[in-house]
């Protein structure tokens, strides 16, 4: 097993953190000795290529963050422009211009399973539609499927 890991390390095609986790897993499983573990860790650290790490992902995150900031500035500028346009139009027409209210969010959106990314959408008081019925959550961070076996009314209650 040590030889296989050594060959991967010598190829240089690995992410250091992932390789160290795999080495530790093999050691815990008893597939390699403590001495072999130490040798592999040193070899992996010595041969690690930073380009194979998470740096490219961080660069993408930084780019997306910059794009979000730019988008926010554009939205603020557009809002200011819309306000100025509205004021000019009202002065020209000598009457108030009503801005329609946005449509309210759906009261009972379709239930979907949380994908493990971001905040859990179903909190205490959340409502949803699932399998033709309407439901209300009675717990925060609710990951249970409404109406599933073993999911009691203390978690999801069917709305009559």
Lowest-confidence pick of 40-49, 97-106, 107-116, 144-153: 97-106
pLDDT, tens digit (0-9, with 9 covering 90-100), for 132-144: 999 999 999 999 9
Question: What's the CA gap between 39 and 5, in Å, rounded?
Answer: 11
In the predicted model, is pLDDT for residue 48 greater than 90?
A: no
The residue-averaged pLDDT of 35-54 equals 86
Q: Give percent above pLDDT 70 in the chain.
A: 98
- pLDDT-based confidence at 55, cuts 50/70/90? low
How far apart, in whole angstroms, are the C-alpha atoms of residue 6 and residue 10? 6
- 127-130 and 133-137 strand pairing: antiparallel
- pTM value is 0.38
Segments making up each domain of the chain, as ranges: 2-52, 56-100, 104-160
pLDDT in tens, 63-72: 889 999 999 9
Residue 117: per-residue pLDDT:
81
Q: Which secondary-structure segment (H or E) carries 122? A: none
Query: Which two three-digit tokens encode residue 78?
Result: 């557009």
Model confidence band, residue 104 (pLDDT cutoffs 50, 70, 90) = confident
Q: What is the mean pLDDT of residues 56-82?
A: 88
d(CA 138, CA 116): 20
For residues 67-94, average pLDDT? 91
- The pLDDT of residue 116 is 83
Let me know: does 130 contact 146? Beta carbons within 8 Å: yes
15-40, pLDDT tens digit by residue?
888 999 999 999 999 999 999 999 99
Could you tell me if 128 and 144 are in contact, meaning their C-beta atoms sit under 8 angstroms apart? no
Q: Contact, 22 vs 61, CB < 8 A? A: no
Range 104-160 classified under CATH 2.10.10? yes
> How remote is the C-alpha of 30 from its chain's centroid?
35
The number of beta carbons lying within 10 Å of the beta carbon of residue 31 is: 14
Phi, psi of 78 (to 5 degrees): -65, -40
Residues paired with residue 130 on neighbouring β-strands, in sequence order: 133
Closest by Cα among 46, 34, 32, 43 to 6 = 43
């Amino acid at each position: 097993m040590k030889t296989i890991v050594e060959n991967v390390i010598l190829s240089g095609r690995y992410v250091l953190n992932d390789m160290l986790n795999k080495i530790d897993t093999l050691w815990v499983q008893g597939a390699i000795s403590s001495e072999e573990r130490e040798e592999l860790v040193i070899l992996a650290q010595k041969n690690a290529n930073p380009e194979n790490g998470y740096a490219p992902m961080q660069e993408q995150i930084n780019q997306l963050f910059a794009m979000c900031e730019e988008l926010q500035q554009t939205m603020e500028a557009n809002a200011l422009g819309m306000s100025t346009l509205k004021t000019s139009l009202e002065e020209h027409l000598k009457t108030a211009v009503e801005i329609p209210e946005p449509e309210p969010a759906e009261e009972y959106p379709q239930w979907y399973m949380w994908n493990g990314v971001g905040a859990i959408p179903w909190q205490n008081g959340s409502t949803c539609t699932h399998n033709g019925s309407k439901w209300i959550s009675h717990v925060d961070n609710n990951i249970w499927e409404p109406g599933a076996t073993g999911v009691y009314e203390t978690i999801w209650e069917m709305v009559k």
